[in-house]
Structure 1
Amino acid sequence: MDGKKDPPTASSGHPMETKKRLGKKKRNRDCEEEPPTKKKSPCIISDPTDSHRTTPKKLDNNPRTGEFPPRPMVREVTAPPRLDHFIFHKELGSGSYGKVFLASHPSNGKHVALKIVKKRLLLEDSRRSVLVERRALEVTAHSHVFTHCYATFQTEDYVFYAMEYITGGELRNFMDRRAPCDMETTRFISAEIVCGLQYLHGRGVIHRDLKPENILMDTTGHIKISDFGLAALNIFGNKKMRDRAGTAGYMAPEVMCMNPYNASVDYFSFGVILYELVVGRYPFYKGGNSARIRRSIRQLQYPEDMSSTIRSILEGLFCKSCNQRQQFCDAIRNHSFFEGVNWEEAEEGILCPPYIMDPTPADDYNETIPLDVVLWEEEEEDKSPISPEDERLFCGFSFTSHKWR
């Protein structure tokens, strides 16, 4: 969901229909013929056929006055979002699979980053993983270290993610302004990244595309890991992957060579980010030649003035053996680099950042973008229809978080 960045490669990916189609009757979206499940998560409504109406609490009258207390001013949104519910204000970024727009929802006043992904691109990339990002977002819904997804929905040609709008910018922008960073800044950001990776890996999720462009920062300086389009799910125990996924320059060597790998590939990516935070530049060959990247990884030179503590943790994160790297990262909280970190506070998101974020310019919500500009289409003759079989792959895609309502 980031703009102007190296295109990722993977077996899974991201990205409406034209304005004239909005009024047409749509085909079945989320298996409406199937009855809703009886057990529902307290946080997620996983099927749009479920009733989204909530029974309001009965207000007890005041025993002294006999009057009912005033109703809260916040409006409750009882229906799942639709495309025509949103007002679009500006484009936030674009990638190989879709675009992200700043949008507002008049019914509840929320501002969201609405990610728009083309179904055809997802199907062309990997038919088996069209629901990966949606499921990963459900896994991360209860952690502050990740961008929250309010809702997902779909049309005939597109899928949509209504994401939490993070106004502090990307970690890349932060590093461009401030790197090389001091030890306290580097330690704080690294500790929150470690909390995020351990949360993911403990739930069987490998991010596989961790990079500064996919780490956002809120206005106070806390990080938010985003973009799970290349994630791998249900990777537990000794299970390993072999497919090539990620962004060149942040991939571990075993991923580039398509050798078996485990969750430690995310820690290699974290090592690249840590090096950039400390040194202020990228550590390896920066180009598209994979062989030269691998050679530069083997021949990495550390600055002479780098502290032994920083070098020690980087050497562990850049370990060539994914199994040895995993063993090192299993005990990473005990490394001297993280001395003094209160990990409980880091996990709860209550550590105070040791820096003050630069003020961000206010967004102009008076400007609007027409829907026919937001939705981009191929020429009709170049557009292949999505088969009913492929449409069924998107069954269960739509959900609505309790935070949306």
Structure 2
Amino acid sequence: MRRMKVYHVQKVYLNNMKKEFQQDNATAPKRRGCSAIVQRAKTILSRVLTCFHQKQRGIEDIVANADSSNVKLLALPIPINDESKPAPLSTFTNVAKPTPLASASSESQGQLQDQVTSACQAPSAAAIIAGESKPSPAGPFTNDCRGKHVTDTSSTPLAQFIRTIKEKSHGLSIDDFTFHKLLGEGGYGKVLLASHQATGQQVAVKMVSKRRLIMEGSEEIHTELQVLKKVRKSPFITRLYGCFQTKDHLFYVMEFLSGGDLHTLMEREGRIEGEKLRLLAAEMLCGIQYLHSKKIIHRDLKPENILLDHAGHARIADFGVAVMGFSALFKITGPAGTLEYMAPEVLSYERYDTTADYFSLGEIIYKLALGKHPFLIGSEQNIFVIKMKVMNKKPVYPSQMDPNLCDLLKRLLQIHQKDRRKMVKNIRQHPYFNTVCWKKLEAQISQQEFVSSSVSSLPPLERMDMDELINAEASMPSLHPKHQQLFRKFTYICK
């Protein structure tokens, strides 16, 4: 009886399999017909795309051969897709904004351009021919942010200086300059005020010891030069004109900023308040974001490294400990820079990225606004003591402080870098910066000058004896030829 039941089950199973097989054979032609239809559709789509590209090339030929009397075109590239637009800053693109802040609009996100000095985006060729759109030579700025007058700078001493150094076939040398005064001194070298003998242009010349760089490691030798070449288009970063070397020193020829730095500004004026503080904070933020868009972490932001031009506007300087080429997968570890302006994750030897620069920015703005450091009292050089104070002490915010400024500082001074990363997303849309026109700021158009009456005039142009500085290492043994080879690509002239 049991065997009969098993046999019956097997027979039913085989019959079901037979029916399914017959159904598959019956529907097979239909499936083959569907495949043919899909293949035909793909062929038609391919032909449509081919025709579309041919029409686009035809429009470009029409534009290229158009008579100037019939079609008015600017000498601008005609993009076919959106890839020609300057890339927005990676830190502020496609990110969610913290809940307390209003979400950023697409228009505000468009303000965060990677190249703030690039030309405006040209409309399509078809739109130009049809008269639907006319490109503007003023750039991607709205009417309220556009300059009304254009000044010819081709005959300025700076323009003459740049033309002169470009024409030199053998590059710059120490004999091309007259040195006047020691402007500053740091761990890597000295900064001197000099004037170019042929044009009279004043420049700042940074002199760095080759031996000191070799002691720090060969990977540090070209870091500052590479960074300055990569960020030369930003108006918020000190500009490099050229480089040259002697047997013992490297020389960076840079723009001379006569306003000093934020440290001397605070010593001279005390607290910085109102629109002046807001503008300085916005300019520093623009410079930091530009660095981060180029995958560069500064790591040594402090008042002494924020220089001021003749009108009192900020420039970020000193990239000796900067790091290039970071990414979401590549983070760095270890302290670098100035202890009292290091982020907690740097002091703790944790892996970190660009968020460390935002913490340093918060400390600078706090000190500008209140005249003191948010965590430290006096000068402390013990890394363990500084770490404990930064990690455990909460900054004090006076009751009379602008609430928007207070909220901005709390976001920048978040102890944990994950929290800080969330808080600085879309920081340009923070209420503290509501009155800032970012396009106008980045274009350096009609900026207000904040020159104090106490700003000292330019130092007298007296000749300085350079022999003592140049020959300071003359008594030391000469550098080995293999060490000199590390500097063979150092010479540079700006483009």
TM-score strictly above 0.5: yes
What displacement does 1:354 show?
A: 6.6
RMSD, aligned CA = 2.0
Q: Aligned partners of 2:268 and 2:287: how far apart in 1?
A: 24
Quickly say closer, same or farther: Cα 1:240–1:116, change in 2 above 3 A.
same
Count of residues in Structure 1 that have an aligned counterpart in Structure 2: 329
**Match of residue 25 from structure 2:** none
Q: Is the 8 A contact 2:344 2:416 kept in 1?
A: no
1:387 to 472, 475, 480: 480
8 Å CA contact 1:222, 1:353 repeated in 2? no
Q: What one-letter code is carried by the residue in structure 1 that aligns with 2:388?
A: R
Report the CA distance shift for 1:364/1:314 in structure 2 as closer, same or farther (over 3 A): same
Q: Does residue 1:88 correspond to 2:182, yes or no? A: no
- Structure 2 residue runs of 5 or longer lacking an equivalent are 1-153
CA offset at residue 99 of structure 1? Answer: 1.2
> CA-to-partner distance for each residue in 1:284-339, whole Å, 9 max, x for gaps?
22311222222222212313323432222112111122233123222111112112
Cα distance in 1, alignment partners of residues 486 and 299 from structure 2:
23
CA deviation profile, 1:218-266 (whole Å, cap 9, x unmatched): 1112111111111111113332110220101000011112210001111
Partner of 1:335: 430
After alignment, is 226-235 or 321-330 more displaced? 321-330
CA contact (8 A) 1:184 1:354 kept: no
The aligned residue for residue 229 of structure 1 is 320
Residue correspondence of structure 1 range 62-77 to structure 2 within 5 A: 74=160, 76-77=163-164
C-alpha distance in structure 2 between counterparts of 1:124 and 1:72, whole Å: 44
TM normalised by structure 2 equals 0.63
Moved more, 299-308 or 282-291: 299-308
- Give the secondary structure class of the aligned counterpart of 2:282: helix
> In the alignment, is the contact (CA less than 8 A) between 1:116 and 1:161 conserved in 2?
yes
2:456 is aligned, of 360, 370, 374, to 360
Give, in angstroms, the shift of residue 282 of structure 1. 1.6
Are the aligned partners of 2:190 and 2:208 in contact in 1 as well (CA < 8 Å)? yes
Structure 1 ranges of 4+ moved more than 6 A: none
Instruction: Kindly provide the amino acid, as one letter, of the partner of residue 210 in structure 1.
Output: L
Partner SS for 1:375: helix
Matches within 5 A, 1:15-26: none
1:302 touches 1:311 (CA, 8 Å); kept in 2?
Answer: no
Find the residue that maps to 1:163 and give its secondary structure: strand
1:47 paired residue number: none
**Paired letter, 2:306:** I
Distance 1:385 1:326 in 2: 48
Paired residues of 1:145 and 1:349 also in contact (CA < 8 A) = no
Query: What is the correspondence of 1:275-290 to structure 2 with a 5 Å cutoff?
Result: 275-285=366-376, 286-290=379-383
Task: Say whether residues 1:103 and 2:194 are aligned partners.
Answer: yes
1:377 to 472, 480, 483: 472
Counterpart of 2:325, as a letter, is N
1:348 matches 2:443: yes
Q: Does 1:300 align with 2:394?
A: yes
- Letter paired with 1:326: R
Q: 2:225 aligns with which of 118, 134, 153?
A: 134
Aligned partner letter, 1:204: K
User: Using the alignment, how far apart are the partners of 2:361 and 2:258 within structure 1?
Assistant: 23
Shift of 1:183: 2.7
2:245 to 154, 160, 163: 154
Identity of aligned residues (%): 35
CA apart distance, 1:162: 0.6
Deviations 1:82-106 (A, max 9, x none): 0112111111111222111111111
Give me the whole-angstrom Cα distance separating, in 2, the residues matched to 1:292 and 1:308. Answer: 31
Structure 1: where are the runs of 5+ without partners?
1-70
Using the size of structure 1 for normalisation, the TM-score is 0.77
Hey, what's the Cα distance between the residues in 2 that align with 1:296 and 1:354? Answer: 37
Alpha-carbon deviations, 1:15-67, whole Å to 9, x = none? xxxxxxxxxxxxxxxxxxxxxxxxxxxxxxxxxxxxxxxxxxxxxxxxxxxxx
Could you tell me which amino acid in structure 1 is paired with residue 396 of structure 2? Y
Structure 1 386/243 Cα, relative in aligned 2: closer, same or farther at 3 Å? Answer: farther
Distance across 1 between alignment mates of 2:442 and 2:190: 31
Larger radius of gyration: 2
Higher helix share: 2
